[in-house]
């Protein structure tokens, strides 16, 4: 379904955040017979509708939301509205078309788009692809879940998009180059289970992309896509890292350490990015020197293994976007070989922390749990030789404790393995509290 297909139809946009505003404004330009916006849970993500670009579209709140949605022929849901919401289930049962702004946009722009998704690494990989493309003479626009809603993107010849599972689930058109960086259980409450999450995430591959690029070293991803034709970055016949050198098959390109991001997972992100460039017609061998120089200027994205200077000699690391045990496992691996204290805990979504326990077998480190899920994570690690566990009352107390238990040449890693909501407004707020706690405890 395209935006033009909404002409003369009754449409309800669900959500009044930036995605809802973008959708309502875009749809209004295509002459629907009826258009309303609906927000049944006005919160900090909601914008001041009266001051927004969509202010001329009526906004329904409160008790009338359900009826307004069910009166529509098409519901355009914001990504924050889960596919498992009872009203979405009811709407589909009534044969109301449910789609999203990302799907409407992709229907018109798929041929010009690289779409990147994954349970880990999608933001970094999308940003790195955009960065490398620009250096090779390919201007592009970066957007999607990483910042600008798709329906707000300017016209251009090339798009690089980070797409969440919520955005991917609505797609009926795959981007020209469809990319998946990693796959592990995440957001299960919003998708209905692991199988449903994988299905929604991998829907990006389901609608005839020209090229599929995946992280070939991710065993779970490999199992899910089976024999699907794909470029499998990380394997010896594709882009891979061997002996700290980046290769295209057997051709040496440049040293791995030109990319100033720690961790094996970021090596894999680089290999995926290079495979995407080749899919877009760039001769990576001829451009190797340019690509190396450009990779050297790439900066870590905020809140992803971001190192914070401290006069004590400790390295504090903000990885607050690690909201699952698998993401935290990648972060812990990035600091292998150094004395390490990891701060974990946040909103308790009932995640299974046994994979984290298995991953930490044979390691020596300290784990500090903070509310709400910190105690449960610590309990899951009980009895592991070499793993010291502590519980703190809050993040500030955890930073103070970390200073006392971490050797001066060590690292203190905030990699929560849980979302931020509840104790914090969002992940940015959690990061702010962490940084302030580092400053305050340094003075103590």
Residues at the annotated binding site? 118-124
Distance of CA 279 to the CA centre of its chain: 23
CA–CA gap between residue 93 and residue 206 (Å, rounded):
23
Residue ranges of the binding site for ATP: 118-124
CA–CA gap between residue 153 and residue 289 (Å, rounded):
31
CA–CA gap between residue 349 and residue 325 (Å, rounded):
12
Distance of CA 208 to the CA centre of its chain: 23
Report the candidate in 131, 121, 123, 120 with the shortest Cα–Cα distance to residue 274. 131
CA–CA gap between residue 377 and residue 249 (Å, rounded):
41
- Look at the block and give the residue holding tokens 């749809």: 27
Using alpha carbons only, give the angle 157, 162, 163 rounded to the nearest 5 degrees: 110
205 within 8 A of 178, measured Cβ to Cβ: yes
Question: Using H for helix, E for strand and C for coil, what is the string for 245-266?
Answer: EEEECCEEEEEHHHCCCCCHHH
2 within 8 A of 108, measured Cβ to Cβ: yes
Report the candidate in 137, 133, 116, 134 with the shortest Cα–Cα distance to residue 125. 116
């Amino acid at each position: 379904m395209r935006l033009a297909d909404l002409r003369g139809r009754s449409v309800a946009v669900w959500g009044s955040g930036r995605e809802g505003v973008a959708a309502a404004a875009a749809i209004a330009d295509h002459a629907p017979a009826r258009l309303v916006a609906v927000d049944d849970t006005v919160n900090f993500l909601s914008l001041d509708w009266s001051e927004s670009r969509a202010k001329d579209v009526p906004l329904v709140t409160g008790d009338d939301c359900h009826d307004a949605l069910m009166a529509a022929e098409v519901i355009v849901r914001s990504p924050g509205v889960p596919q498992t919401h009872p009203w979405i289930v009811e709407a589909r049962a009534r044969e109301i078309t449910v789609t999203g702004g990302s799907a409407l946009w992709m229907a018109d722009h798929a041929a010009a788009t690289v779409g990147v998704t994954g349970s880990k690494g999608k933001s970094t990989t999308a940003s790195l692809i955009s960065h490398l493309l620009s250096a090779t003479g390919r201007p592009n626009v970066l957007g999607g879940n990483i910042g600008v809603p798709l329906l707000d993107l300017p016209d251009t010849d090339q798009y690089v998009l980070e797409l969440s599972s919520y955005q991917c689930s609505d797609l009926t058109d795959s981007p020209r180059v469809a990319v998946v960086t990693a796959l592990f259980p995440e957001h299960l409450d919003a998708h209905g289970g692991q199988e449903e999450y994988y299905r929604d995430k991998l829907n990006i591959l389901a609608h005839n992309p020209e090229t599929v690029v995946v992280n070939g070293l991710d065993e779970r991803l490999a199992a899910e896509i089976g024999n699907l034709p794909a470029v499998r970055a990380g394997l010896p016949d594709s882009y891979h890292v061997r002996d700290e050198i980046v290769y295209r098959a057997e051709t040496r390109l440049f040293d791995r350490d030109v990319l100033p991001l720690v961790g094996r997972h970021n090596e894999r992100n680089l290999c995926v990015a290079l495979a995407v460039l080749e899919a877009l017609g760039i001769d990576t061998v001829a451009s190797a020197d340019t690509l190396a120089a450009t990779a050297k200027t790439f900066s870590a994205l905020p809140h992803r293994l971001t190192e914070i200077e401290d006069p004590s000699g400790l390295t504090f690391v903000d990885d607050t976007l690690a909201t699952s045990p698998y993401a935290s496992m990648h972060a812990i691996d990035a600091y292998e070989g150094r004395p390490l204290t990891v701060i974990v805990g946040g909103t308790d979504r009932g995640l299974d922390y046994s994979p984290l326990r298995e991953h930490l077998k044979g390691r020596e480190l300290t784990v500090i749990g903070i509310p709400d899920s910190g105690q449960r994570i610590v309990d899951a690690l009980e009895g592991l030789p070499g793993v010291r566990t502590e519980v703190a009352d809050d993040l500030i107390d955890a930073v103070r404790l970390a200073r006392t238990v971490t050797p001066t040449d060590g690292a203190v890693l905030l990699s929560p393995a849980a979302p931020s909501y509840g104790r914090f407004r969002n992940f940015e707020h959690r990061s702010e509290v962490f940084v302030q706690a580092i400053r305050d405890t340094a003075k103590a």
